[in-house]
Amino acid sequence: MSDIIQLLPDHVANQIAAGEVVQRPASVVKELLENAIDAGATNIKLLLKDAGKTLIQVIDDGKGMSATDARMSFERHATSKIKKAEDLFNLHTKGFRGEALASIAAIAHVELKTKEPKEELGTCIKIAGSKVISQEFISTANGTVLAVKNLFYNIPARRNFLKSDTVETRHIIDEFQRVALAHPNIAFLLHHNNNEVYHLKSSNLRQRIVAIFGNKMNEKLVPIDEKTDILTIHGFVAKPAFSKRKRGEQFFFVNDRFIKSSYLNHAVVSAFDGLLEQGAHPSYFLYLSVPSNTIDINIHPTKTEVKFDNEKALYAMLRATVKHSLGQYNVAPVLDFNRDSSLDTPYHFNGKSTAASTPKISVDPNFNPFKEKIKQGKDFQFKKEVKNESWESLYTTSIETEQEQQAKLFEHQEEEKTQKTFQIQKKYVLSSIKSGVVLIHQSLAHQRILYEEFLESITVKDANSQQLLFPVKISFSSSEIEIIYTIKTELESAGFSFDEFTKDSVTIKGIPSSVTESKIGIILEELLNDINLEVPDANYSHFDTMAKSFAKTLCIKTGTTITEKEQENLVNNLFSCKEPTTSPSGKSIIKTLKSAELDKIFNS
């Protein structure tokens, strides 16, 4: 038997390695931004075209590289961050695996321009599919400019797996926000298709959070600050009143590196115990500093999952710190044994006796409930008017004959005979059909009805729009404004009319006729959440996402009582739909029980 095991060619091995490091354009953005930070940059610019599919360019004013280092940086496992295995457990930099640039160069056209401040000329290297096209000396600014063009140009199958531009842009913005929040002392600029999305100046942490998530975030923040021998915690949590239905603004940073940890998230949520509504999630921006030898960050290629030596101690301290801050800033109730008791009494009662006086009771000895007061002119007289027949009338008016009671009973039975639907537990509608009964989920059924109505009005008919008497201004973060602007045309087709877009707000002057003014903010927020959760695919338009989101927001909710007439309309409209059996999200709406199944239940 001949030998069958052989070494892979370098370009194939590089493409396989790239699959671990580069999953989508956002992966490239993360690696390049982290390299710029490790280079000591104070100003970093990120330029994008077509959600990074056509161009990702990062410009920094860091220390740059020599001609030899520039060429070596594209070799696999080439790094300046570690020299021996022990260094892996004492890391103070971002990129250390030495795979990022080699992996990126294997699947894209890359152009690198770099120059050290002490040198007169810099270096320009062009690479395509791991092959060096050219290397030459050029005149360029101090620092590094790295452009990644035509991502996955030589792996079309991987490129086809990318989502729509809106979704990919959302992922890039998420990575950008994480890096920017971890380093508020560095100025960042983000442009997408020549539009400025973020312009973040060097600032403190609170200012950076407000700059990213909007001015309204400032009033929501509660500061966190605690220092122990094994852990230092600082940052902010949002007040419980500003909790959200979706997990969004939740950020953990360990030693200036963004991480994901369900264990630590549970510690924060438990600190909010009793302060949040059912299904609500707190927002937080928490920065943990631990000794570098007590954490392992090399367990996942993206380096967002870490292991701690003493997780239980971190959990207890994090929970206690958050709980203490919520109480300290009067967000949660606490007992204060050092308060001045005089403050409990209103100031105008100080020095006065607080003993309660005995109330005075006055009795009218001439009061008679059986006498009727009659006014005659200016004088009053009392006259006894109660007769036997008046007492009898009290009973004759309240007692019904047996025949009348039976007539009412038959009337009620006749009403029940005509009723075709019944609401059960304010959640389901039971309807009778020829072959048995059908049980309908009222909320999912209404979603299906509204979904098909919205989809038809958006794509087939001209959606009816109602103009607002006073335009409504709604605040969003810069990234959310960017998403709304990209789907502006689709929203206008649905009946929305916009007056003005700014970096942190949008003014709406017209809304669909089926939407109330109070629901505008909720609808747009739900729509943004759906887009962020990758509801739209490359094969679907935003129209479908919008119709689903509108239907989910405006449908009858579980726990709502609906009248018999509304029940009948719900059933009739549902069976007029094209797909009455499933909701827009694919859940079952209807459960049918045939007569034979009902008989089996009672005969078993």
pLDDT at 81: 54
- Give me the half-sphere count of Cα atoms (radius 13 Å) on the Cβ side of residue 385: 8
456 pLDDT exceeds 90?
Answer: no
Q: What is the mean pLDDT of the chain?
A: 79
Average pLDDT over residues 143-160: 89
User: What pTM does this model have?
Assistant: 0.65
pLDDT confidence band for 536 (50 / 70 / 90): very low
Structure-block tokens of residue 273: 């115990």
- DSSP string of 442-508? HHHHHHHHHHHHHHHHHHTS---EEEEEEEEEEE--HHHHHHHHHTHHHHHHHT-EEEEE-SSEEEE
pLDDT for 143 equals 93
Q: What is the pLDDT of residue 496?
A: 86
* Residues 531, 536, 538: CA angle, nearest 5 degrees: 135
- Using alpha carbons, select from 281, 290, 174, 172 the residue that is nearest to residue 230: 290
CATH class, 10-200 region: alpha beta
Contact 534, 414 (CB under 8 A): no
Please tell me the predicted confidence (pLDDT) of residue 416: 42
The CATH number of domain 436-590 is 3.30.1370.100: yes
Helix count (H) and strand count (E) of the chain? 18, 24
Contact 174, 26 (CB under 8 A): yes
One-letter amino acid for residue 468 of the chain: L
How far separated are the first and last CA of the chain, in Å rounded?
A: 67
185-222 pLDDT, tens digit each = 999 999 999 888 899 999 999 999 999 988 888 888 99
Residue 406 has pLDDT above 80, yes or no: no
pLDDT band at 126, cuts 50/70/90? very high
Quick check: helix, strand or coil at residue 135? strand
- 382 confidence band (pLDDT: 50, 70, 90): very low
Contact, 224 vs 268, CB < 8 A? no
d(CA 411, CA 436) in angstroms, rounded, equals 26
pLDDT band with cut points at 50, 70 and 90 for residue 135? very high
pLDDT number for residue 341 = 47
Residue 300's pLDDT band, with cuts at 50, 70 and 90, is: low
> What pLDDT, on a 0 to 100 scale, did the predictor assign at position 338?
45
Q: What is the mean pLDDT of residues 336-349?
A: 45
Lowest mean pLDDT among 51-55, 384-388, 510-514: 384-388
pLDDT(512) > 90: no
Residue 566 has pLDDT above 80, yes or no: yes
Q: Three-class SS string for 205-273?
A: HHHHHHHHHCHHHHHHEEEEEEECCCCEEEEEEECHHHCECCCCCEEEEECCEEECCHHHHHHHHHHCC
Nearest to 25 by CA among 14, 13, 33: 33
Q: What is the DSSP string of 84-119?
A: SGGGGGS--SS--SS-HHHHHHHSSEEEEEEE-TT-
The whole-number pLDDT of residue 208 equals: 93
pLDDT of residue 112: 94
Dig out the tokens for 455 from the structure. Answer: 């989809």
Q: Which residues contact 579 (CB under 8 A, 6 or more apart)?
A: 448
Edge-to-edge strand ranges of the sheet holding 465-475: 465-475, 505-512, 497-501
What per-residue confidence (pLDDT) applies to 181?
94
Calpha distance 61→81 (Å, rounded):
19
Query: Hunting for tokens 């100080």 — which residue is that?
Result: 350
What distance in Å separates the CA atoms of residue 604 and residue 601, rounded to the nearest whole number?
6
Res 462 pLDDT > 70: no
Q: How far is CA 143 from the centre of its chain?
A: 37
Res 410: pLDDT: 43
Q: Of all helices (H) and strands (E), which one includes residue 345?
A: none
Least confident span in 383-392, 481-490, 509-518: 383-392
Q: How far is CA 117 from the centre of its chain?
A: 43
Predicted pLDDT at 339: 45
Residue 485 and residue 524 in contact, taking contact as beta carbons nearer than 8 Å: no
Domain ranges of the chain: 10-200, 212-328, 436-590
Rg (alpha carbons) of the chain, rounded to whole number = 35
Instruction: Categorize the per-residue pLDDT at 114 as very low, low, confident or very high, splitting at 50, 70 and 90.
Output: very high
Average pLDDT over residues 239-256: 83
pLDDT for position 234 = 93
CB 315 within 8 A of CB 263: yes
What would the mean pLDDT of 272-295 be, rounded to a whole number?
84
Q: What tens digit of pLDDT does each residue of 140-149 get? A: 999 999 999 9
Q: What is the pLDDT of residue 334?
A: 45
The more confident residue out of 192 and 538 is 192
**3-state secondary structure (DSSP) of residue 556:** coil
pLDDT of residue 146: 94
Tell me, what's the pLDDT at 343? 43
Q: Distance (Å, rounded) from C-alpha 497 to C-alpha 468? A: 10
Q: Is the pLDDT of residue 375 over 70?
A: no
Percent of the chain with pLDDT over 90: 22
d(CA 197, CA 585): 32
Contact present, 510 and 466 (Cβ < 8 Å): yes
Please tell me the predicted confidence (pLDDT) of residue 148. 94
What are the tens digits of pLDDT across the range 47-72?
Answer: 999 999 999 999 999 999 988 888 88
**Protein fold of 212-328:** Ribosomal Protein S5; domain 2 (3.30.230)
